[in-house]
Amino acid sequence: MLENIEYSDYKKREDIHGTVLYPAVMIAPIQNEVLTELIQKNKITSVFDPFHGSGTALYEAMEIDSNLHLVGCDINPLANLITRVKLDGVSKNIKDSLTLLIKHINNPGVVETIKFPNIEKWFRKDIIETLSIIKAAILQIENDNDRRFFWIMLCDCIRKYSNTRSSTYKLHKKESEKIERIENNLIKDYIKAIEQNFKKYEKCTENYILYKRDVLGLLKELPSRIFDISISSPPYGDNATTVPYGQFSMLDLYIIDKRDLELEGWELDNYSIIDRMSLGGNKKETKLGEFEKGLIKPYLDKISIEKQEKVIRFFNDYFVWLEGLCKVTDKFIVLTLGNRTVDRIKINLTEITQKYLESREFKNIEFAEREIPNKRTPKVTSMVDLKPVDSMTKEYIIVHERRK
């Protein structure tokens, strides 16, 4: 297990995970390799991903054994929708649904124009009109699986034809001249994406549950030792200063019809709310125990006072999450981690996590590191005291087994 995990030649575009962009996804062959080994050598009936993102680990688990009970959780409605579509697949009549979709796009009739806060900042007027036609056409598709598939196939087109830069996951407006140069081939590109990808969604399972909610609340409610394997890539820090999953998703979420989104009611309030509601994003009373304080103190002592608050807030939630994860996991915990830098101090989240798991009766049985190829995040992410700060270039995979 984990003998050679570089997978530098792996191309997401060749499988289902490359059909729709999502930030900082796990490398599918690595998750498949780990899960295959654990499932084949142990009696495994359930797999849990507490931050399922775009569903990489859950889909790979389904590929290995379609009888596995899969459970996932994510606070982001777009992640929930993408993962649901991957696990549901498309209908056997997907070609008929596509024919009907194209018919409605070509003959739109009276169409309601899409409206949401600051839409004209993020889209040209003609693009808004085209998106409105596509949205109206999707809403005519009665088959739930096919309609949801058509939504997620629109996501990459939304970003491509928006006024936001493609070099970052955050929303940053392009220069005016670049916006003016956009050629409106939106419908052509959208239909092409569907035609190229629908065959990758032929597999499906009904043996899954997805929770669209805060994972800390879910873990409190779940019974002890309910999952054989817990596998995930948790946040490495608060979303706002690491990977802004919520901000990345907002243009899609404002356009996709609410009837096909799992919403609690607050998610569309503003562009930053999902990131604020995510792990470590909310200001609250911190309740770190002495052991947990000891794990992060060597890093806090080197970080400026103004930066310490965010780090403490994140780890306050992170340790609560780890405690809950240990409670609900019966056999194996598999995590993909990165070590972020704060105030030019690299915080070894991997080592901190391992020490915590060891204290909770989970022993390490595998450890591996790999270079992160083709990062969207630039190698230099910010400046501190007029000096550049390097971004993460490596990720770490750890496997822990509950002690007998």
Which CA distances in Å does 31 have to 5, 218, 244?
10, 24, 23
Question: Sorting pLDDT into bands at 50, 70 and 90, what band is 378?
Answer: very low
Rounded-to-integer distance, Cα 17 and Cα 3, Å: 23
Instruction: Give the pair of three-digit tokens for residue 139.
Output: 């809403």
Over the stretch 20-53, which tens digit does the pLDDT of each residue have?
Answer: 999 989 899 999 999 999 999 999 999 999 999 9
pLDDT of 99 higher than 70: yes
Return the amino acid letter for 400: H
Rounded-to-integer distance, Cα 121 and Cα 176, Å: 11
- The 46-49 sheet, strands edge to edge: 208-212, 69-74, 46-49, 227-232, 329-337, 394-402, 362-371
pLDDT of 383 higher than 60: no
Over the stretch 225-262, which tens digit does the pLDDT of each residue have?
Answer: 999 999 999 999 898 888 999 999 999 999 999 999 99
Residue position matching structure tokens 């915080």? 347
Q: pLDDT value at position 380? A: 45
Q: pLDDT value at position 392? A: 66
pLDDT (mean) for 158-168:
95
Q: pLDDT value at position 13? A: 77
Over the stretch 275-316, which tens digit does the pLDDT of each residue have?
Answer: 999 998 887 777 899 999 999 999 999 999 989 999 999 999
Under DSSP, the state recorded for 162 is S
Share of the chain above pLDDT 70, in %: 94
Over the stretch 102-120, which tens digit does the pLDDT of each residue have?
Answer: 999 999 999 999 999 999 9
* Cβ contact 67:207 at 8 Å: yes
Q: pLDDT value at position 224? A: 98
List, in sequence order, the alpha helices (H) in 185-244.
186-197, 215-221
pLDDT (mean) for 76-85:
98
* Average pLDDT of every residue of the chain: 93
Helix (H/G/I), strand (E/B), else coil: 232: strand
Share of the chain above pLDDT 90, in %: 84
Residue with more model confidence, 348 or 380: 348
pLDDT (mean) for 82-96:
98
Residue position matching structure tokens 């796009």? 105
Question: Sorting pLDDT into bands at 50, 70 and 90, what band is 389?
Answer: very low
Rounded-to-integer distance, Cα 287 and Cα 46, Å: 32
